[in-house]
Amino acid sequence: QLRGKDARSIFWGLVAVLAVGWPFCAALFVTTGFWAVWKKGFGDENNDAPLSFSSIIQPSVLFRIASLLGRTALHAIFIQFIVMVIDYQHYGQIVSPILNIFIYNTKGGGDELYGVEPTSYYVKNLLLNLNLVALWGLISLPILLLRLAISGGEERARTNRMLWKKITILLPMYIWLAIVVPRPHKEERFLFPIYPMLCVGAAITIDEVLSEVLRLVDTWMQRTPNNAVAGKMRLKLILGMIILLPSALVSMSRAAALTTNYASPLAMYEHLFYNVDVAPSSNSGASQTKKYVCTGGEWYRFPSSFHLPPNVELAFLKSSFSGQLPQPFTIHGSKEESLAIQQGKFNDDNKEEIDRYLTIEQCSYVVELIDTAKMDGEELRVPECIEYMNSDKTGQWKEVASYNFLDIDKTSALNRILYLPWGREKVFYKGYAMFERVD
């Protein structure tokens, strides 16, 4: 859109909404559509002619706008047709996942079973993931509106056009925040769609502020504003890099902290995939017996079924979580034939389905987060899966792998947020452990 390729922007917006299947991201392309309609209907964006009702209802203007809307509708129909053909191949019937997800998310209530957070949750996540860039991105619109109010001189018209283009690009970010922030259930991934806009907004903020500072310096030193333009651009680039350097250092430290402190689930299931022997014994015949890797409250840290060896399946033990848990696909995938053989039930309210759970006797492996140390006067809490294994009368269990996972209750906030090479003795870990049944 910054390069004036509005048709391409609209097309990729349609793909994002219709093909990806998350209809709410349409809010991010609202101003793109209005901007394209404006340019198509009233010609060059540099046109300074005053707008009137008579100019709007001219047949040529209406025809150009209608042609744009018609072409957009044809693109939408074409994309939706391809998506529905693919869905039909997988589901065995004509469905609209976009309509289903829209109905589910707009009726409210069901997602609250998975946690309710205050508005500060999003504030913390923005600061954790983008630090200063998030702040600069969020203040970009007020800065542009201020520049729009104080702009003057011979270049006022050209400057205002560029400012309005930047505003139309950034405005969807605030529309998105107005949609997701009021919802009680909040997730970090709900902020992902606006991260590119936050980065663009931060760049705009730095550029506008530095431009104004250099202009004031020119005024103070009584220099011609256009004097040594190339030198000013180099100076602005250097100053911008200096401003961004602290943010880059914090981001690298944050990435190192996430990798060091929270990567143990990935390492655990990688160990399972490459080191656990799941082959059938020589006297087991041609068929293999399915093995289950069971977990309780740690179900949400399971990365994906791609991390499991062949003939191994994730299963759940009853835990304190009381919402609906996922269920593996049958051999028929999402087609209608699955309804005849699937064992688990589903509901639209995310209420707990008891048929998701296995007993400890059915498990071959168990994954659990274990306290490895205790503070003075503190009693170690016995995890739920450990209690299940202790009560198992059919066999013994042994620990076969364990990886460090940050203990957020005992570690200081600064060491939770960033990786600091000093003071590591103040960082405490739990054990992300896997246990194997020994018959």
pLDDT for the residue 377: 53
- Whole-model pTM: value is 0.77
In whole angstroms, what is the distance from residue 253 CA to residue 163 CA?
A: 35
Residues in the chain: 439
pLDDT for the residue 285: 40
- The angle formed by the CA atoms of residues 264, 295 and 293, to the nearest 5 degrees, is 90
The residue among 193, 189, 223 whose CA lies nearest residue 111 is 189
In whole angstroms, what is the distance from residue 137 CA to residue 132 CA?
A: 8
In whole angstroms, what is the distance from residue 244 CA to residue 226 CA?
A: 26
Angle in degrees, 0-180, between the axes of helices 140-150 and 195-220, rounded to the nearest 10:
40
pLDDT for the residue 54: 53
pLDDT for the residue 373: 63
Written as six digits, the tokens of 142 are 């007020």
CB 405 within 8 A of CB 262: yes
In whole angstroms, what is the distance from residue 316 CA to residue 356 CA?
A: 7
| Amino acid identity at 91 | Y
In whole angstroms, what is the distance from residue 169 CA to residue 200 CA?
A: 9
pLDDT for the residue 226: 56
Other CB atoms within 10 A of residue 385 CB = 25
The gap between the terminal CA atoms of the chain, to the nearest Å, is 64
In whole angstroms, what is the distance from residue 95 CA to residue 101 CA?
A: 11
pLDDT for the residue 2: 60
CB-count burial class (<10 Å; 0-12, 13-18, 19+) for 268 = buried
Written as six digits, the tokens of 275 are 């080191």
In whole angstroms, what is the distance from residue 137 CA to residue 122 CA?
A: 14
Bridge partner list, 397:
437
In whole angstroms, what is the distance from residue 168 CA to residue 375 CA?
A: 54
Written as six digits, the tokens of 393 are 């009368």
Q: pLDDT of the chain along its 439 residues, tens only? A: 666 677 888 888 899 888 887 788 888 888 888 888 877 766 655 554 444 445 556 777 778 888 888 989 999 999 999 998 988 887 777 888 888 887 777 765 556 667 788 999 999 999 999 999 999 999 999 999 988 887 765 556 667 778 888 888 899 999 999 989 988 888 899 999 999 999 999 999 999 888 888 877 767 766 655 555 667 788 888 888 999 999 999 999 999 999 999 999 999 999 999 887 655 434 334 345 788 999 999 999 999 988 998 889 999 999 988 888 988 877 777 777 776 777 667 787 778 888 899 999 999 999 999 986 665 556 667 888 999 999 988 889 999 999 999 999 899 999 999 999 888 888 999 999 999 998 7
